[in-house]
C-alpha cells in the first residue's frame, strides 16, 4: 500500500494514539512526521508503566524497541500486555543484527503485528503504523458490530448484563476456530441458540446446522439416527438412510444433552471424532465426513465420569473449548429486557388491551429465581399475554405469587424507580452507548430518555454515574 493510501486509512481512524516503550533517540527521526499526521505517542521507559497505562488509555498501537536479547523475558511481559487489550497491534523496532537470533525472530513472529529495523525510515515507519492502526480499528469494530443477518441467533439473544457480554465475546472467539465446543449450563439457558450463533459466525455458516437431542432419541434408534443405515440393515430398513452426522457434512453438528448418550454409542462417537469417518449401520464402506461438533449438557460430566456414565476420553475430545451459559437469576438487569422482548416478539398473541407490564409484575419477576430459566420466562409471559384482561400484566397473570419474591419488600415507588433505572441502564448498555438506539428500544423519545436519565442520575456513556 502506498503512503497516500495509508493517509486515507488513517483519516478514518478514531484513535491515533500509540504507546512507545524505548529510548527517545530511536523514534526521534519520525517525530516531525508523527506530529504532522496528528499522532499522539505516549512514551514510557518501563514495561510496568505500559501495563498501568493500558487501564486508562485506548491506544490502537503499541511500539516496543527490542534491545534486550532476553527474548523469553520480553515474551512473558508482552503476552501479559496482549491479554490486557487484544485489539492493540504491537510493533517491534529492532536492530538488524538482532534478527539473526532465532529467539528474536520467534518472538517477533509470535507476538508482534509487524517490525521495523533501526535506524528507522520515517516514511516506512508511518506506513507500518497506519496499517497497524487500521487493523486495530477493524478488530475493535468487529467486536461490537457484525455484518451477519439481523435474524441470526446471536442477534436474537437478548441481554446486556456483564455475563451476557462475555458470552457474546466468547461466541465470536470460538466461531473463529474449528475446534469442538462444549456448552454447559442449566436447562433453558439458551444453549442451542448459542450453538447456532457459533455456526452462523463460523466459516461453515453456508453449510448445514444439524441439531440432535441425544436424550430424545429412542435407544434402539440412536445408532441409525446418528450414523445412518443401509437398505436391509435391520427389519424395517426398506431404503438407505443418511444419518445426522453425514447430513451435517460441510457444516456443524450440534449434540444436545450429550450426557444422555448411551455408553456404547459414546465409543462410536469417539471413533468418529478421532477419525472423521463413519460406517452406516449394515454398511462396509468408510465414509469421510467434514463436520464441526458442538455439544451441550445440563449435567456435570465430570461427575458422570466418576459415576461411570460418561467416557473420560470422549469428554476431553468434546471439551476443547467451553462456554458456560449463566442462569437467568444471575443475569442482573436482563429480566425486564427479556420480558419486553417476549412481549413484542409474540405481540399477535396478546389481548388488544394489554400494553405491557405493571411495576408489581416487574418487581416480582426480578425477585423470582426462575428455575426453568429463559424457557420458563417465555412460557409465563406468553400465557400472561393471553390471560390478562387488563391494560398491564400483573404478578397474578404471570402465575407468580408475592411470597415467591426472594428480595426484601420495598415500596411500590421504590420498586418503580429501581425497575425504571435498571431497564434504562440495560437498554443503554445493549445499545452500546447509543442514546438514539436505546430510546428506540424503550419505545420513547430521546428527550424523554434524557429526562429519565437525569431523574435517575444516569449520565451519558463515557462518564461516571452519580
The grid cell for 179 is 475446534
Q: For the chain, what is the domain count?
A: 3
129 lies in the same domain as 258: no
68 lies in the same domain as 111: yes
9 lies in the same domain as 41: yes
Query: Is residue 75 a contact partner of residue 83, using CB atoms and an 8 Å limit?
Result: no
Q: Could you say which of 324, 341, 369 is where a domain stops? A: 324
Domain assignment of residue 369, given as a range: 329-455
423 lies in the same domain as 298: no
Instruction: Using DSSP, state whether 292 is helix, strand or coil.
Output: strand
How many CB atoms lie under 10 A from the CB of residue 295?
Answer: 28
164 lies in the same domain as 118: no
For residue 363, give the CATH number of its domain: 1.10.8.60
For residue 466, tell me if it sits in a domain.
no
For residue 461, tell me if it sits in a domain.
no
306 lies in the same domain as 178: yes
Looking up cell 449434540 gives 255
The grid cell for 177 is 476456530
* Pairwise CA distance, residues 313 & 310, whole Å: 9
Task: Write out the H or E segment, with its range, that includes residue 223.
Answer: helix 222-227
25 lies in the same domain as 96: yes
For residue 182, give the CATH number of its domain: 3.40.50.300
Query: Is residue 301 a contact partner of residue 350, using CB atoms and an 8 Å limit?
Result: no
Q: Could you say which of 324, 347, 365 is where a domain stops? A: 324
Instruction: Using DSSP, state whether 217 is helix, strand or coil.
Output: coil
Tens-binned pLDDT, residue by residue, of the chain (466 aa): 333 333 333 333 345 788 888 888 999 998 888 888 778 888 887 777 777 676 666 678 889 888 765 666 666 666 666 655 666 788 989 988 888 887 788 778 767 888 899 999 988 888 888 888 877 776 565 444 444 443 444 446 888 788 888 999 999 999 999 999 999 999 999 999 999 999 999 999 999 999 999 888 877 788 888 988 888 777 777 788 888 999 999 999 999 999 989 898 899 999 999 999 998 888 888 899 999 999 999 999 999 999 899 999 999 999 999 999 999 999 988 898 888 888 888 877 776 678 888 888 888 998 899 999 999 999 999 999 998 888 889 899 999 875 444 443 445 556 667 777 878 887 887 777 788 888 888 878 777 788 788 777 787 665 444 3
pLDDT at 337: 84
370 lies in the same domain as 397: yes
364 lies in the same domain as 313: no
310 lies in the same domain as 184: yes
Query: Is residue 301 a contact partner of residue 310, using CB atoms and an 8 Å limit?
Result: yes
For residue 112, give the CATH number of its domain: 3.40.50.2300
For residue 417, what are the contacts with CB-CB under 8 A and spacing of at least 6?
A: 456
For residue 462, tell me if it sits in a domain.
no
Instruction: Using DSSP, state whether 389 is helix, strand or coil.
Output: coil
33 lies in the same domain as 118: yes
Which pairs count as long-range contacts for 113-121, CB under 8 Å and 24+ apart, including other chains? Answer: 113/89, 114/89, 115/91, 116/91, 116/92, 117/93, 118/26, 118/65, 118/93, 118/94, 119/26, 119/29, 120/26, 120/27, 120/29, 120/30, 120/93
Instruction: Determine the angle formed by the axes of helices 373-387 and 334-345, rounding to 10 degrees.
Output: 50
User: 252, 250, 150: which is closest to 198 by C-alpha?
Assistant: 252
pLDDT at 114: 86
* Pairwise CA distance, residues 372 & 188, whole Å: 6
pLDDT at 183: 97
Instruction: Using DSSP, state whether 52 is helix, strand or coil.
Output: helix
189 lies in the same domain as 235: yes
For residue 199, tell me if it sits in a domain.
yes
Which pairs count as long-range contacts for 46-52, CB under 8 Å and 24+ apart, including other chains? Answer: 46/21, 47/21, 47/77, 47/81, 50/19, 50/21, 50/81, 51/80, 51/81, 51/84
pLDDT at 441: 81
Q: Could you say which of 268, 291, 324 is where a domain stops? A: 324
Q: Listing from the earlier edge strand, what are the strands of the sheet with 321-324?
A: 209-213, 252-256, 292-297, 181-184, 321-324
Amino acid at each position: 500500500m502506498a503512503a497516500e493510501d495509508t493517509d486515507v486509512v488513517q483519516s478514518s481512524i478514531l484513535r491515533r494514539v500509540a504507546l512507545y516503550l524505548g529510548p527517545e533517540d530511536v523514534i526521534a527521526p519520525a517525530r516531525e512526521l508523527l506530529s504532522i499526521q496528528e499522532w499522539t505517542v505516549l512514551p514510557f521507559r518501563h514495561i510496568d508503566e505500559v501495563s498501568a497505562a493500558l487501564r486508562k488509555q485506548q491506544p490502537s498501537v503499541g511500539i516496543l524497541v527490542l534491545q534486550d536479547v532476553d527474548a523469553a523475558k520480553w515474551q512473558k511481559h508482552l503476552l501479559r500486555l496482549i491479554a490486557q487489550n487484544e485489539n492493540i497491534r504491537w510493533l517491534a523496532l529492532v536492530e538488524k543484527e538482532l534478527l539473526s537470533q532465532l529467539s528474536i525472530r520467534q518472538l517477533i513472529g509470535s507476538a508482534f503485528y509487524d517490525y521495523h529495523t533501526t535506524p528507522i525510515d520515517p516514511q516506512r515507519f508511518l506506513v507500518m503504523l497506519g496499517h497497524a492502526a487500521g487493523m486495530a480499528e477493524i478488530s475493535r469494530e468487529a467486536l461490537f458490530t457484525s455484518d451477519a443477518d439481523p435474524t441470526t441467533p446471536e442477534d436474537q439473544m437478548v441481554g446486556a448484563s456483564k455475563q451476557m457480554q462475555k458470552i457474546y465475546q466468547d461466541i465470536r472467539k470460538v466461531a473463529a476456530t474449528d475446534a469442538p465446543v462444549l456448552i454447559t449450563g442449566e436447562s433453558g439457558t439458551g444453549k442451542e441458540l448459542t450453538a447456532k450463533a457459533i455456526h452462523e459466525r463460523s466459516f461453515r455458516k453456508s453449510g448445514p446446522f444439524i441439531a440432535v437431542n441425544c436424550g430424545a432419541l429412542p435407544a434402539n434408534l440412536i445408532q441409525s439416527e446418528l450414523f445412518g443405515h443401509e437398505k436391509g440393515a435391520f427389519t424395517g430398513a426398506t431404503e438407505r438412510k443418511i444419518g445426522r452426522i453425514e447430513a451435517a457434512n460441510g457444516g456443524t453438528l450440534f449434540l444436545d444433552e450429550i450426557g444422555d448418550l448411551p455408553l456404547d454409542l459414546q465409543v462410536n462417537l469417539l471413533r468418529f471424532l478421532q477419525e472423521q469417518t463413519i460406517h452406516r449401520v449394515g454398511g462396509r464402506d468408510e465414509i469421510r465426513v467434514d463436520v464441526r461438533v458442538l455439544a451441550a449438557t445440563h449435567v456435570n460430566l465430570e461427575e458422570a465420569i466418576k459415576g461411570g456414565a460418561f467416557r473420560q476420553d470422549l469428554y476431553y475430545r468434546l471439551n476443547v473449548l467451553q462456554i458456560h451459559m449463566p442462569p437467568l437469576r444471575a443475569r442482573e438487569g436482563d429480566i425486564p429486557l427479556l420480558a419486553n422482548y417476549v412481549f413484542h416478539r409474540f405481540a399477535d398473541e396478546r389481548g388488544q388491551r394489554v400494553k405491557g407490564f405493571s411495576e408489581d409484575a416487574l418487581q416480582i419477576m426480578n425477585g423470582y429465581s426462575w428455575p426453568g430459566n429463559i424457557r420458563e420466562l417465555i412460557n409465563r409471559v406468553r400465557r400472561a399475554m393471553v390471560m390478562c384482561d387488563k391494560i398491564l400484566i400483573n404478578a397474578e397473570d404471570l402465575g407468580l405469587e408475592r411470597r415467591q419474591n426472594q428480595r426484601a419488600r420495598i415500596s411500590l415507588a421504590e420498586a418503580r424507580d429501581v425497575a425504571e433505572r435498571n431497564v434504562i441502564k440495560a437498554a443503554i448498555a445493549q445499545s452500546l452507548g447509543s442514546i438514539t438506539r436505546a430510546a428506540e428500544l424503550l419505545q420513547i423519545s430521546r428527550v424523554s430518555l434524557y429526562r429519565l436519565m437525569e431523574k435517575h442520575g444516569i449520565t451519558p456513556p463515557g462518564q461516571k454515574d452519580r
